[in-house]
Amino acid sequence: MTASNDITIIGAGPAGLIAAERLARGGRRVAIHERMPSPARKFLMAGRGGLNLTHGEDFLAFLARYGPARRFLEPALTAFGPADLREWAEGLGQKTFVGSSGRVFPESFKASPLLRAWLARLDSLGVEFHTRSLWTGWDGEGALTFAQADGTTLKLMPQATLLALGGASWPRLGADGGWVPSLRKRGIDITDLASSNSGIEIGWSAVFREKFAGEPLKRIAAGLGGDSRRGEAVITEQGLEGGVIYALSRPIREAIAASGHAQLWLDLRPDISEDTLAKLLTRPRGGQSLSTFLRKSLKLSPAAVSLLREATGNRLPEGSAGLASLVKRVPLLATGQRGLDRAISTAGGIALDEIDAGFMLRKLPGVFVAGEMLDWDAPTGGYLLQACFATGVAAAAGMALWLGKR
């Protein structure tokens, strides 16, 4: 048994690291335990295509992106919001900017320079790192247990613990949901983990799949029922991926759970009204094939034109009005979502009513939680990282307050 007099943080992602920074600045002795050989692997992966830290839209619109979890997350997001995250990054020497879409990036576009500066700061604050240290739950005396790389078991009895273990998406980067049984055994209510911000499965014909897998669908809109989003998608062998699909993850997931499928629609020209499209289609076709005519008159890509045929079983409507209506509402049936191994984030997790205002588990005094392992969900665009940072900051404040009262 190894006794610990202060704070143990389990998980070295953004939520755990920012909590460690806050607590160490407050004079606490902090040790981080991480099962992987190095910290923040998913954070680094997120930065490969340009690290989207947060979003610069109006704050009320920003809050609405968190859907049912908004009420729970609002205090944390208010206390540490987009402006605070940008100021923090710039304090590490990483200036940020707002892109044309409203997304916020470091000027370097990369995660690695920010992470190097961050880890150096944590080292200067005396934060201890223990990698290849896998948390396996609690023993009969209430001690935290960790499986070590050398085959031994480490036991700790800290004054307070923060669980920041992530969800279960991209498990090869460290977060695999392995914490669920340990918490359920302690009576914590956990919503089953599921894919979020993931691609959808559509039963393409072999011809369409072979010819167009990998082709983009740019400047489109997608919808499910009355919920719609604008963005881009990519045709895959399995179906569709991309921001416009990820933004509908929650309603797609709910529809599939309820009926086994989700009936989506795509608007291939959201910038033009249906009436205007119909007028464009009344122009003389001449000797052009219908596919060529659609491409030239409506400026549709070959993939988009073929999608119209795919969605209708190659029975395109006759007349300009029918074609215009189809372009504005191409029906697609999603039969599933891609698995957690390819999802960007995780839905489900620790039920929010299990957590008090200080991010402590009500049934486990002294055990706090933060980040993606909580039951909240958000689209891509900076919302995921922002909430991980904000809940880490909130949990650190809750821990400091709770320890102070003791």
Percent of the chain clearing pLDDT 70 (strictly above): 99
Which of the four pLDDT bands, split at 50, 70 and 90, describes residue 318?
confident
| CATH code assigned to 7-196+344-405 | 3.50.50.60
pLDDT of residue 358: 98
| Residue range 200-337 in CATH 2.40.30.10 | yes
Cα separation, 250 vs 27, whole angstroms: 41
Task: For residue 363, give the DSSP letter.
Answer: T
Cβ contacts of residue 251 below 8 Å, gap of 6+?
A: 224, 225, 227, 262
Cα separation, 281 vs 299, whole angstroms: 11
Is the model's pLDDT at 1 over the cut of 50?
Answer: no
Which of the four pLDDT bands, split at 50, 70 and 90, describes residue 4?
low
Q: What is the pLDDT of residues 352-362, one digit of tens each?
A: 999 999 999 99
Helix (H) or strand (E) holding 206, with range, is: helix 206-212
Q: Give span(s): CATH 2.40.30.10, the chain.
A: 200-337
- Phi and psi angles of residue 252, each rounded to the nearest 5 degrees, phi first: -65, -45
Is the model's pLDDT at 5 over the cut of 60?
Answer: no
Which of the four pLDDT bands, split at 50, 70 and 90, describes residue 50?
confident
- Phi and psi angles of residue 222, each rounded to the nearest 5 degrees, phi first: -130, 150
Which of the four pLDDT bands, split at 50, 70 and 90, describes residue 2?
very low
Which of the four pLDDT bands, split at 50, 70 and 90, describes residue 170?
confident
Q: What is the pLDDT of residues 138-159, one digit of tens each?
A: 999 999 999 999 999 999 999 9
Q: What is the pLDDT of residues 247-293, one digit of tens each?
A: 999 999 999 999 999 999 999 999 999 999 999 999 998 889 999 99
Which of the four pLDDT bands, split at 50, 70 and 90, describes residue 48?
confident
- Lowest pLDDT segment from 114-118, 282-286, 333-337: 282-286
Cα separation, 87 vs 81, whole angstroms: 10
Q: Give span(s): CATH 3.50.50.60, the chain.
A: 7-196+344-405
End-to-end C-alpha distance for the chain, whole angstroms? 23
pLDDT of residue 327: 97
Please count the CA atoms within 13 angstroms of the CA of 392 that sit on its side-chain side.
Answer: 27
Q: What is the pLDDT of residues 380-402, one digit of tens each?
A: 999 999 999 999 999 999 999 99
Cβ contacts of residue 235 below 8 Å, gap of 6+?
A: 204, 212, 213, 214, 215, 216, 217, 303, 307
Q: What is the pLDDT of residues 178-227, one digit of tens each?
A: 999 999 999 999 999 999 999 999 999 999 999 999 999 999 999 998 88
Token couple for 402: 């709770």
300 with 216: CB under 8 angstroms? no
